[in-house]
């Protein structure tokens, strides 16, 4: 009778409860949210603002290139020299209909006199406030007199902690040799506009409440008056020269460009601002400006100008974001609406001309996204400097490690996090293995877990203030502010912290699920998921491994405070201990195994230890493979993960994780041990385990492919054997991981790829149902030594029931899922290759190899239904008379609320997901939608019809009201359906 078996080994200690540090809401968990500050960008500080002698700046030329449009360049001037990575940045910017390549290049130093600095600051203040902010403060409605923002020099707009200049350069001077010069003509034009506005009599008249007769002066002195001359507020221009002229309105401070001169109109033309078609209270444009702004036009007979208003900046850093925005705007009609509504009619004399090119204005639209990316690279370089490794790490890798998915960039930390997790596990495993040569595997696992658990990584990360570098929200262009610009979207701090840094205190922790994550206040405070700090630690370790190899990763770990000593002295000690073991009686076994491995051990005792099971200790053997298995598990993990990371750069992080999970697991390793005949050399003294191995070997040899082995539980010892051999080779080669991979790559081949990836059955069923809009229920019970699982999946016309049995809940659910997958496959429902890269295979022979699976069956319950209108829906024949009527919370009426309520109801009752049919109505005149605060206007209307199949009852249909966008119309239809369900007695909505 065996004392020991493969699932209960005497002498293995449980991991200390103190090591189980991932409490449900503890440090490093997803449940806990923490308030943290944001690190300041040191590279953009400066003291040149008030220097009477001028200043010397480091200059960086910004160029843009696009296949379909010309964008002029700029020069970025900073007091501090930027890191080389920042100074040579290239960024792709994605507009709705094109892509612009931007590049930054260092171009020496430039000295500006104090007067030049003053003029450059006025340029900044006028254009950045005019384009992205406000040039007028106060309003009549608020009771605060309106004031021109730049009426006087305002030092509060310029902070020494965040100060730089972005100035236009002359496009004609840009030649192949890289020469450039600042466009002082354009800058001085902005300065003159500021001076004109400061001296404007109209502003003084408005503040005094008097009317002001707008003109550039006496009409007799205007000069050049004639049919082809148009009088602006600050000059007169011929009609031919007006098109694409950049102008600013003197009464609003908004910046436009002239699209067209409307020769058949004038300020006496009827005023038609009402989009609802109602009569305007203003008889003409002249009447409008007189009554609303107190302006009496001097030239009411001049033709009106059709102006195109500049728009708010977008996030241009992500191709996927640009594509999604375009789809959203097209589907909702916003793209068409914006093209119509961004045009205004304006009398010329209310406009000042700004002598800058329209192309310069368009290029300024690219600046916020570019500067945001440059600042992100600066922070990556700043962190790199703190870590202070002598090898120059690419800042792009560090930036990737600091960027979460919430940033909506085309890159994120997830791939590096996956790799860093494996690297960390490997290094710590080696460290505890070598440092504690006499500790058994249980103790080693405990030591490793206490180091690599999220709670400890969180502690180490916060100690190094890594959390302040994490980028956890998408770029918000509306909140972007250039030096000299006043923020028009402030977010005052409400966290009760006076400093930019937030104390590491439980007062700033929460588990509130409604906490808004990533959005920072004006002091830089933002809520982070606690786990994201631990993830960032792993990602930065991964970045250093990619950029500088194991030595760089070790440096990073030591900087964090992780003990990671892998000195040769420790390895020699481990080899010496193994060399004391006698291998004489096993020499034939060792030689044969070395031949299969293609590697001759220098220390044969290591291989002997690697193939010796713990049950051999009954025969007096004083060692077993468990320590080497512990080490081999880590080295195979990092080697396979690194292989997948390098060879599959074009797949998303989730699929990379799936590849790793499919490759690094005991089942896969067990199959390798069988197929390479390594199991034959296992030294074992357990009849029960030997029997399990024999049965499993037969199954593997008879299996046509790995699919037929899904759901079968392998003897763990077979996977352990492969790992222990890997650990033995690692020590014998003195931690030469390249040599370990040279030996193991052919053993593990073929390694899974995206084309042949097979997800676990339960996972595949879950994702397939999500995609098809079905829900299934699971029920598991323990029956002695096995688990029984039942999965129920309701389709439109049939109820599928899959049952499974296994030694674990996972195995039992996997068996049941296989039956349901087969049932779905027979009905033509399976994943497309382009979605999961999974080839359709026959789902057969799904019984367990170790347990009699006669219990497993698949049942079908056919249901009948007929399509009916809502008002005619009968109660289902199979519905129990006393069945509880489901109760749901009050339906939220904000966008997505009704659909979410309906989806949750379907999931709860196992109804198939509803389907929508949406029609679009286009109109030349504005359409009004909704009521009250939800009232909107647009040129496109959407109406949706919803269909919901209720098993055993029928199909309900409901028509929603017309809405301004597709999703809102679907919400309307869903809301009507929910109310109809309540009227039919199939639902109760709590109010």
pLDDT tens digits for 246-273? 999 999 999 999 999 999 899 999 987 5
Q: What is the pLDDT of residue 694?
A: 94
What's the structural domain count of the chain? 5
End-to-end CA, the chain: 66
Q: What is the pLDDT of residue 178?
A: 63
Q: Is residue 208 part of a domain?
A: yes
% of the chain beyond a pLDDT of 90: 56
Q: Is residue 377 part of a domain?
A: no
Domain boundary among 816, 834, 862: 862
Is the pLDDT confidence value at 219 over 50?
A: no
Burial 104-119 (b: 16+ CB within 10 A, else e): bbbbeebebeeebbeb
Phi, psi of 300 (to 5 degrees): -65, -15
The DSSP letter of residue 984 is: T
pLDDT tens digits for 365-377? 999 999 999 999 9
Q: What is the pLDDT of residue 338?
A: 46
Domain co-membership, 306 together with 405? no
Domain boundary among 369, 397, 415: 369
Q: Is residue 503 part of a domain?
A: no
CATH number (domain holding residue 877): 3.30.160.20
Domain co-membership, 737 together with 834? no
Domain co-membership, 649 together with 787? no
Q: What is the pLDDT of residue 718?
A: 96
Q: Could you check whether the bond before residue 750 is cis, i.e. omega within 30 degrees of 0?
A: yes
Domain co-membership, 899 together with 844? no
Is the pLDDT confidence value at 865 over 60?
A: no
Q: State whether residue 10 is helix, strand or coil.
A: coil
* HSE toward the beta carbon, residue 379, CA cutoff 13 A: 21
**Nearest one of 499, 478, 498 to 490, comparing CA atoms:** 478
The DSSP letter of residue 751 is: P
Identify the bridge partners of residue 147 per DSSP, sorted by sequence position: 137
Residues shown for the chain = 991
Domain co-membership, 642 together with 778? no
Q: Is residue 358 part of a domain?
A: yes
Domain co-membership, 452 together with 329? no
Q: Is residue 2 part of a domain?
A: no
Range of the structural domain that residue 475 is part of: 17-32+388-479+524-560
Q: What is the pLDDT of residue 212?
A: 59
Q: What is the pLDDT of residue 167?
A: 98
Is the pLDDT confidence value at 928 over 80?
A: no
pLDDT tens digits for 815-861? 888 888 888 888 888 765 335 444 333 334 333 333 333 333 344 44
Using CA atoms in the order 753, 758, 759, 760, what is the torsion angle rounded to 10 degrees? -130
The encoded tokens of residue 301 equal 């007979």
Q: Is residue 512 part of a domain?
A: no
Domain co-membership, 274 together with 162? yes
Domain co-membership, 78 together with 194? yes
- For the full predicted model, state whether its pTM sits above 0.75: yes
Identify the bridge partners of residue 136 per DSSP, sorted by sequence position: 148
% of the chain beyond a pLDDT of 70: 84
pLDDT tens digits for 69-118? 999 999 999 999 999 999 999 999 999 889 999 999 999 999 999 999 99
Is the pLDDT confidence value at 5 over 90?
A: no
Q: Is residue 508 part of a domain?
A: no
pLDDT tens digits for 27-85? 999 999 999 999 999 999 999 998 889 999 999 999 999 998 999 999 999 999 999 99
Q: What is the pLDDT of residue 925?
A: 66
Domain co-membership, 689 together with 574? yes
Task: State which H helix or E strand residue 939 sits in.
Answer: strand 936-950
Is the pLDDT confidence value at 868 over 70?
A: no
Q: What is the pLDDT of residue 940?
A: 79
Q: 987, 908 in Cβ contact below 8 A?
A: no
Instruction: Report how far residue 23's alpha carbon sits from residue 12's, in angstroms, rounded to the nearest whole number.
Output: 24
Rounded to whole angstroms, what are the CA distances from 30 to 25, 27, 418, 510, 777?
7, 9, 17, 11, 26
- Of the two residues 767 and 680, the one the predictor is more confident about is 680
Provide the strand spans (E) within 224-303.
Answer: 229-231, 236-238, 246-249, 255-262, 295-297
**Nearest one of 97, 157, 95 to 123, comparing CA atoms:** 157
* pLDDT band with cut points at 50, 70 and 90 for residue 285: very high
Q: What is the pLDDT of residue 746?
A: 96
Report the mean per-residue pLDDT for the chain: 85
List, in order, residues 6 or more apart from 907 with CB less than 8 Å away: 775
Sign of CA dihedral 905, 908, 911, 914: positive
CATH number (domain holding residue 416): 1.10.1520.10
* pLDDT band with cut points at 50, 70 and 90 for residue 7: very low
Q: What is the pLDDT of residue 987?
A: 85
Instruction: Report how far residue 978's alpha carbon sits from residue 285's, in angstroms, rounded to the nearest whole number.
Output: 49
Is the pLDDT confidence value at 882 over 50?
A: no
Rounded to whole angstroms, what are the CA distances from 238 to 227, 232, 323?
9, 10, 41
Domain co-membership, 881 together with 819? no
Domain co-membership, 400 together with 470? yes
pLDDT tens digits for 427-458? 999 999 999 999 999 999 999 999 999 999 99
Count CB neighbours of 101 within 10 A.
Answer: 14
- Pairing type for strands 212-214 and 295-297 reads parallel
**Nearest one of 658, 662, 661, 675 to 722, comparing CA atoms:** 675
Domain co-membership, 791 together with 661? no
**Nearest one of 975, 978, 958 to 967, comparing CA atoms:** 975
Domain boundary among 312, 337, 369: 369
Q: Is residue 376 part of a domain?
A: no
Q: What is the pLDDT of residue 618?
A: 78
* pLDDT band with cut points at 50, 70 and 90 for residue 863: very low
Over residues 153-161, mean pLDDT? 91
């Amino acid at each position: 009778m065996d004392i020991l078996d493969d699932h209960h080994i005497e002498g293995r200690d449980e991991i200390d409860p103190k090591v189980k540090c991932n409490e449900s809401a503890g440090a490093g968990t997803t449940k806990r949210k923490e308030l943290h500050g944001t690190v300041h960008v040191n590279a953009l500080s400066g003291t040149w603002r008030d220097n009477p002698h001028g200043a010397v700046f480091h200059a960086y030329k910004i160029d843009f290139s696009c296949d379909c449009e010309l964008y002029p360049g700029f020069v970025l001037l900073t007091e501090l020299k930027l890191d080389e990575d920042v100074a040579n940045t290239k960024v792709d910017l994605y507009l709705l209909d094109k892509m612009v390549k931007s590049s930054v290049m260092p171009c020496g130093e430039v000295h500006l006199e104090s007067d030049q600095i003053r003029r450059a600051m006025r340029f900044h203040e006028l254009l950045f406030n005019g384009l992205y902010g406000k040039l007028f403060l106060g309003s009549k409605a608020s009771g605060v007199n309106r004031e021109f923002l730049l009426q006087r020099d305002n030092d509060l707009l310029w902070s020494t902690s965040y100060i730089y200049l972005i100035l236009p350069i002359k496009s004609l001077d840009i030649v192949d040799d890289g020469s450039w010069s600042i466009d002082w003509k354009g800058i001085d034009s902005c300065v003159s506009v500021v001076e004109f506005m400061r001296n404007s009599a109209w502003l003084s008249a408005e503040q005094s409440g008097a009317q002001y007769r707008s003109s550039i002066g006496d009409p007799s002195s205007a000069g050049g008056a004639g049919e082809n001359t148009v009088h602006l507020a600050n000059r007169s221009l011929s009609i031919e020269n007006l098109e694409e002229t950049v102008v600013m309105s003197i009464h609003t401070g908004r910046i436009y460009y002239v699209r067209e001169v409307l020769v058949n109109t004038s300020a006496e033309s009827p005023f038609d601002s009402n989009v609802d078609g109602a009569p305007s209270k203003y008889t003409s444009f002249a009447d409008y400006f007189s009554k609303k702004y107190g302006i009496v036009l001097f030239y009411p007979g001049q033709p009106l100008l059709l102006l195109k208003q500049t728009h708010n900046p977008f996030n241009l850093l992500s191709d996927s974001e640009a594509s999604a925005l375009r789809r959203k705007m097209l589907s909702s009609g916003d793209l068409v609406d914006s093209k119509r509504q961004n045009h205004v009619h304006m009398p010329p004399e209310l406009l000042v001309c700004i002598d800058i090119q329209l192309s310069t204005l368009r290029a300024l639209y690219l600046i916020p996204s570019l500067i945001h990316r440059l600042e992100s690279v600066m922070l990556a370089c700043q962190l790199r400097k703190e870590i202070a490794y002598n090898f120059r790490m690419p800042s792009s890798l560090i930036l990737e490690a600091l960027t979460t998915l919430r940033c909506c960039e085309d890159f994120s930390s997830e791939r590096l996090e996956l790799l860093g997790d494996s690297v960390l596990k490997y290094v710590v495993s080696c460290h505890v293995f070598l440092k504690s040569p006499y500790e058994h595997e249980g103790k080693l696992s405990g030591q490793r877990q206490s180091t690599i658990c999220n709670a400890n990584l969180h502690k180490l990360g916060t100690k190094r203030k890594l959390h302040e570098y994490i980028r956890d929200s998408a770029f918000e262009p509306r909140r972007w502010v250039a030096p000299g610009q006043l923020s028009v979207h402030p977010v005052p701090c409400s966290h009760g912290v006076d400093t930019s840094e937030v104390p590491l205190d439980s007062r700033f922790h929460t588990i509130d699920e409604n906490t808004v994550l990533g959005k920072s206040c004006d002091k830089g405070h933002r809520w982070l998921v606690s786990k994201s700090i631990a993830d960032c630690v792993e990602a930065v370790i991964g970045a250093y491994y990619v950029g500088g190899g194991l030595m760089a990763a070790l440096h990073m770990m030591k900087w964090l405070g992780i003990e990671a000593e892998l000195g040769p002295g420790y390895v020699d000690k481990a080899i010496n201990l193994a060399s004391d073991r006698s291998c004489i009686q096993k020499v034939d076994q060792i030689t044969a195994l070395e031949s299969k491995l293609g590697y001759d051990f220098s220390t044969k005792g290591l291989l002997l230890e690697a193939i010796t099971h713990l049950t051999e200790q009954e025969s007096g053997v004083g060692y077993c493979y468990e320590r080497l298995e512990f080490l081999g598990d880590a080295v195979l993990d990092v080697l396979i993960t690194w292989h997948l990371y390098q060879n599959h750069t074009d797949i998303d992080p989730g699929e990379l994780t799936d590849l790793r999970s499919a490759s690094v697991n005991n089942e896969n390793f067990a199959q390798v041990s069988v197929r390479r005949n390594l199991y034959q050399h296992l030294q074992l003294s357990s009849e029960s385990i030997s029997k399990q191995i024999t049965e499993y070997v037969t199954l593997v040899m008879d299996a046509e492919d790995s699919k037929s082995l899904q759901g079968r539980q392998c003897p763990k010892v077979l996977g352990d054997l492969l790992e222990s051999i890997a650990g033995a080779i690692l020590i014998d080669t003195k931690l030469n991981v390249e040599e370990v991979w040279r030996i193991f790559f052919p053993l593990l081949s073929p390694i899974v790829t995206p084309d042949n990836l097979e997800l676990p059955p339960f996972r595949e069923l879950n994702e397939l149902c999500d995609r098809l809009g079905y829900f299934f229920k699971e029920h598991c019970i323990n029956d002695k030594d096995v688990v029984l699982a039942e999965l129920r999946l309701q389709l439109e016309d049939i109820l599928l029931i899959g049952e499974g049995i296994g030694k674990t809940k996972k195995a039992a659910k996997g068996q049941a899922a296989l039956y349901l997958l087969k049932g779905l496959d027979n009905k033509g429902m399976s994943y497309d290759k382009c979605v999961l890269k999974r080839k359709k295979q026959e789902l057969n022979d799904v019984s367990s190899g170790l347990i009699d699976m006669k219990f497993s069956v698949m049942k079908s319950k056919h249901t009948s239904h007929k399509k009916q209108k809502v008002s005619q829906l009968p109660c289902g024949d199979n519905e129990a008379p006393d069945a509880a009527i489901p109760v749901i919370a009050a339906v939220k009426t904000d966008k997505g609320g009704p659909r979410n309520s309906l989806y949750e109801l379907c999931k709860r009752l196992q109804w198939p997901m509803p389907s929508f049919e949406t029609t679009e109505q286009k109109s030349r005149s504005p359409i009004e939608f909704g009521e009250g605060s939800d009232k909107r206007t647009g040129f496109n209307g959407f109406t949706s019809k919803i269909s919901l199949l209720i098993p055993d009852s029928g199909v309900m249909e409901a028509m929603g009201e017309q809405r301004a966008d597709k999703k809102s119309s679907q919400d309307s239809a869903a809301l009507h359906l929910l109310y109809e369900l309540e009227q039919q007695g199939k639902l109760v909505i709590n109010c």
